[in-house]
Amino acid sequence: MATNIQINGRRLTTQHSVNAAIKSICNIMRRSNCAGAMQYVPELTWILFLRILDEQEAQEAERAETVGAEFIPSISEPYRWRDWAAPPDDSLFAEKSNGCPIGWKRRELTEGGSLGSFKSFVNDDLIPHLRSLRKRPDATPRQKIIGEIMTAVERVRIDTDKNLLDVLDRVHALRNGHIDPTHVFALSQVYEGLLLKMGEKGNDGGQFFTPREIIRGMVRAVDPQWGETVYDCCTGTGGFLAQSYEHMRDALGQEATADQIETLKRRTFYGREKENLIFPIALANLVLHGIDQPKLWHGNTLTDVAAYADLFHDAPAQFEVILTNPPFGGKEGKEAQTRFAYKTGATQVLFLQHVIDSLAPGGRCGIVLDEGILFRSNETAFVQTKRKLLDECDLWSIVSLPGGVFSAAGAGVKTNLLFFTKGRPTERIWYYDVSDVKVGKKTPFTVDRFADFFRLLPDRADSERSWTVERADIEAKRYDLKAVNPNARGDQDRRTPEELLDIIEAKGREVAEALSALRAALADGRPGP
């Protein structure tokens, strides 16, 4: 009989109930040595990942048994979630190979062990074992992913056995089968809500987080299709790749073949990320979204020095789609600059060169760039890079964003979205301006702001917010690409000089009358008016 590890937990039927469940977990972690989002999100990441992985492998084992195929789990007992983390239940059995009930290892550690023995098992046995999976000579792609996700985990941060067990119980109850998909978000979107907490100002995680409304608009504009490879050279927490997967999966719809789904999950999404803390979070986020084998490279993209490259070994040299948000204002040394034709310490300029070189002929790109790179013409590398962009690619649109779009992430810099196709030079650029939209904490930028952009985009039509600039005009301004809306209506004073003089004269009479009244009051010994 096939294994069944599902537990009859309460069904979460509203978004509020899911948010409350997540909040209760985070509250325990906050009082357990994980004060801020930069501490509790990474901790919850690996715990939630192991929970979902166990559920996924249980389902795969059932399907394999149904068709008489062999299934080899990525994690052996007692290191599976169902062994050490799941609440003990004698009525549910882990697998007939060992005949032990669900949670048997947890019961052994908590009922027969000494105080602190559960955390000792996690720190001294479980975590080292999972980290070592990637180093096995015969490691599967999934085992490499597991090992990489655990690389940033030295020890569990939660302070006591009791608090850790409480977190595990709540995570165990939070599974896709307990969430009503017709009313609330899937776990992947719940997890993105946690990542947003990391990206909020003051949490030092903003540099890794692009607002999801911006990502959705960019993915829609570039429109990645099944069969195309998608690449992000600054993956961060994986937002562009995750959204691209959902976009491509939804486009396939119910008619998708098994081969199409397999290609989408295992041979489509590629990325690079430098930061040790963020790389495993990106992997977990993509797996949680349904990308079974995200091809992520860990290291410095600009120097091409890898910390871990096994997951990226079969990556193509160029990609059909690139969606990315390079860091603003960074500085690179000589080691990075030597790899590029146009030398500069400006990180975003080097990334733009990398993106152009990494884009396949006919490929499409959507990239976030700070406004400085668009208008600066006093540094040779800036001008040369923009000329390279216009010579090798058709830069078909620039969207000018409000200054506050990234302020929640601690970056108030003005940004633009650039969209281009490689293989033909730019003849003209269609601009769209939403820079006047007021953005704040209570009024975030929402995807509906792009509705008019998408309405006008097919014909590149002119409007109060959109206009076209010819290549010759750009060259005449030494490749200044900054969006300057010729249709913008400023607050102009339309009063005539005579009217202004009359106003000044009238104000003068008012002042004179007030001074006269004040002098009269002082002469009579009375308080002033």
Report if residue 46 sits inside a domain.
yes
User: Is the per-residue pLDDT at 440 higher than 80?
Assistant: no
Residues facing 179 on adjacent strands:
12
Whether residues 31 and 169 fall in one domain:
yes
Give the pLDDT band of residue 177 (cuts 50, 70, 90).
low
Worst-scoring range by mean pLDDT, 18-27, 211-220, 320-329, 471-480? Answer: 18-27
Whether residues 126 and 268 fall in one domain:
no
What pLDDT is attached to residue 237?
Answer: 86
- Report how far residue 484's alpha carbon sits from residue 488's, in angstroms, rounded to the nearest whole number: 8
Question: For a pLDDT cut of 90, what percent of the chain falls above it?
Answer: 54
Report if residue 267 sits inside a domain.
yes
CA 168 to chain centre: 26
Report if residue 488 sits inside a domain.
no
Whether residues 472 and 500 fall in one domain:
no
| Residue after which a domain boundary falls, among 185, 218, 238 | 185
Give the pLDDT band of residue 90 (cuts 50, 70, 90).
confident
User: Is the per-residue pLDDT at 528 higher than 60?
Assistant: no
Worst-scoring range by mean pLDDT, 152-161, 376-385, 488-497? Answer: 488-497
Report if residue 9 sits inside a domain.
no
User: Is the per-residue pLDDT at 203 higher than 80?
Assistant: no
User: Is the per-residue pLDDT at 491 higher than 70?
Assistant: no
User: Is the per-residue pLDDT at 261 higher than 80?
Assistant: yes
Report if residue 6 sits inside a domain.
no
Whether residues 306 and 401 fall in one domain:
yes
Worst-scoring range by mean pLDDT, 217-226, 322-331, 507-516? Answer: 507-516
Cα diameter, the chain: 111
Worst-scoring range by mean pLDDT, 28-42, 125-139, 201-215, 265-279? Answer: 201-215
Average pLDDT score, the chain: 85
pLDDT in tens, 394-425: 999 999 998 878 765 545 678 999 999 999 99
Give the pLDDT band of residue 514 (cuts 50, 70, 90).
confident
What pLDDT is attached to residue 174?
Answer: 74
What pLDDT is attached to residue 526?
Answer: 61
CATH of the domain at 149: 1.20.1260.30
Give the burial class of 112: count Cβ atoms within 10 A of its Cβ; 0-12 exposed, 13-18 middle, 19 or more buried. Answer: exposed
Whether residues 507 and 389 fall in one domain:
no
- Report how far residue 526's alpha carbon sits from residue 529's, in angstroms, rounded to the nearest whole number: 9
For residues 91-97, give the mean pLDDT. Answer: 54
pLDDT in tens, 316-341: 999 999 999 998 878 888 999 999 99
pLDDT in tens, 35-81: 777 788 888 889 988 998 888 888 888 888 899 888 989 999 999 99
Whether residues 523 and 385 fall in one domain:
no
For residues 268-289, give the mean pLDDT. Answer: 91
For residues 364-392, give the mean pLDDT. Answer: 94
Report if residue 491 sits inside a domain.
no
Report if residue 198 sits inside a domain.
no
Whether residues 79 and 49 fall in one domain:
yes
Whether residues 39 and 79 fall in one domain:
yes
What pLDDT is attached to residue 96?
Answer: 40
Q: Which domain holds residue 451?
A: 210-476
What pLDDT is attached to residue 189?
Answer: 59
DSSP 178-208: GB-TTTS--HHHHHHHHHHHHHSTTTT-GGG
The count of other CB atoms within 10 Å of the CB of residue 372 is: 17
Whether residues 110 and 222 fall in one domain:
no
User: Is the per-residue pLDDT at 198 higher than 70?
Assistant: no
Cβ contacts of 435 within 8 Å, gap of 6 or more:
400, 401, 402, 403, 414, 483, 485
In this structure, what are the phi and psi dihedrals at residue 193, rounded to the nearest 5 degrees? Answer: -65, -35
Tell me which DSSP letter residue 346 carries.
B
CATH of the domain at 299: 3.40.50.150
User: Is the per-residue pLDDT at 372 higher than 50?
Assistant: yes
Report if residue 489 sits inside a domain.
no
User: Is the per-residue pLDDT at 217 higher than 50?
Assistant: yes
Number of domains in the chain: 3
Give the pLDDT band of residue 469 (cuts 50, 70, 90).
very high
First to last CA, the chain: 96
Whether residues 366 and 300 fall in one domain:
yes
User: Is the per-residue pLDDT at 383 higher than 50?
Assistant: yes
- Report how far residue 474's alpha carbon sits from residue 472's, in angstroms, rounded to the nearest whole number: 5
Worst-scoring range by mean pLDDT, 86-95, 140-149, 299-308, 367-376? Answer: 86-95
Whether residues 425 and 296 fall in one domain:
yes
Whether residues 435 and 508 fall in one domain:
no
- Report how far residue 109's alpha carbon sits from residue 88's, in angstroms, rounded to the nearest whole number: 11
